[in-house]
């Protein structure tokens, strides 16, 4: 099943820079592992924002929830999940 997920990140202003850097490094490692195993198919930055659009290919809603809640930045994210279906006009 394919899902489009918009992720917006907002760190608390009081968060120390070293903690923010540690979380960003952990986030990169976590997300790249998901990309390598094929479940995190695409990630696109939203220009001018600390946000992205991502496409996940997973077996179920529960698997997607487990992945999203496992992101190190999850406590600082707002997410919008859109399930995707193949369009009848698509040639691929």
> Which pLDDT tens digit goes with each residue over 25-63?
999 999 999 999 999 999 999 999 999 999 999 999 999
pLDDT in the model for residue 36: 98
Per-residue confidence (pLDDT) for residue 49, from 0 to 100: 98
Q: Set out the domains of the chain in order of their start, with CATH numbers.
A: 2-84 (3.30.70.1060)
pLDDT at residue 38, as a whole number:
97
Tell me the whole-structure pTM to 2 decimals. 0.92
Tell me which residue of 12, 1, 3 sits closest to 53, measured CA to CA. Answer: 3
**CA distance linking residue 19 with residue 43, whole number of Å:** 24
Residue 35 CB contacts under 8 Å (≥ 6 apart), including other chains: 41, 43
Kind of pairing between the strands at 40-45 and 77-84: unpaired
Mean pLDDT along residues 72-87? 97
């Amino acid at each position: 099943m394919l899902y489009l997920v918009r992720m917006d990140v907002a760190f608390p202003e009081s968060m120390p820079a070293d903690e923010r850097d540690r979380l960003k490094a952990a986030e990169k490692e976590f997300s790249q592992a998901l990309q390598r195993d094929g479940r995190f198919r695409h990630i696109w930055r939203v220009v001018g924002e600390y946000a992205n659009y991502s496409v996940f290919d997973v077996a179920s809603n529960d698997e997607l929830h487990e992945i999203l809640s496992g992101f190190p930045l999850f406590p600082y994210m707002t997410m919008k999940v859109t399930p995707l279906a193949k369009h009848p006009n698509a040639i691929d």
